[in-house]
Amino acid sequence: MTIHREGYKSIAIGTLIFGAINFAFFYFFSASLPALCWVVFVATLGLLLFLISFFRIPKRTLTVNDNLVVSPCDGKVVVIEETIDEEYFKGKVLQVSIFMSPANVHVNLNPVAGEVVYSQYHKGKYLVAWNPKSSTENERHSVVYRKGGTEILAKQIAGALAKRIVNYLQVGQKVNQSEEMGFIKFGSRVDLLLPVGTKINVALNQVVQGGVSVIATL
């Protein structure tokens, strides 16, 4: 397991806060309230370890297959439905949405290999990620991959806790499947918009792993 570069600053700040809080408690209260000092130490250590775990990148055997769409993130499948995309396709698409809890790995990966033909950030609200309106009203970043004659849109969506979306892709860039697309801090969701009729390989409420689980067959 390694730590994602997006976490370096947050972990450094968290470590400083952890040290400052515990130094103050042990300096002023270790003689009179030793039990309180240890409670604070354990609680703040737990929070620091959780912060570190949020930016973890576990070692995995990634799925790479030109005929498959792999999961762009860890989480749980919360939507599988036909919908109308007004942003790029201007018509019917098949939407698969994956909700990421704060405990999930939050690096986002390319679901397919291909050329990036669209990459657009949108300001927006911070509705809870499972709200259907979050796909179109929340802060989000959309990327469209062109693979042969097929285009697939992956949408990173901020939630009530997620306040920063990072995306590394640019239009014209050639990318590989299961490599990094970006990162979302502190819980959110990713939508995949696929051509209508695409064979879906997951079910509602299924837990998936980024870069490993097969979402669909092209």
Residues 96-133: tens digit of each pLDDT: 999 998 888 889 999 999 999 999 998 876 665 555 55
Q: What are phi and psi of 68, to 5 degrees?
A: -120, 155
First to last CA, the chain: 31
Sign of CA dihedral 73, 74, 80, 86: negative
Longest CA–CA span in the chain (Å) reads 72
Residue 163 has pLDDT above 90, yes or no: no
Average pLDDT (87-95) is 96
- Rounded to 10 deg, the angle between the 8-29 and 34-54 helix axes is 180
Catalytic residue (one of 134, 135, 178, 188): 188
Alpha helices per DSSP H over 6-133:
8-29, 34-54
72 close to 154: Cβ distance less than 8 angstroms: yes
Residue 158 has pLDDT above 60, yes or no: yes
User: What is the β-pairing status of strands 91-100 and 174-175?
Assistant: unpaired
119 is catalytic: no
> pLDDT tens digits for 12-34?
999 999 999 999 999 999 999 99
Domain boundaries, the chain: 2-57, 68-217
Least trusted range by pLDDT, from 2-11, 19-28, 66-75, 165-174: 2-11
Residue 69 has pLDDT above 70, yes or no: yes
- Average confidence score pLDDT of the chain: 90
Task: Please state the pTM of the whole predicted model.
Answer: 0.85
CATH number for the segment(s) 68-217: 2.70.70
The pLDDT score that the predictor gives to residue 67 is 94
User: From CA 155, how far away is CA 163, in angstroms rounded?
Assistant: 15
Average pLDDT (163-188) is 89
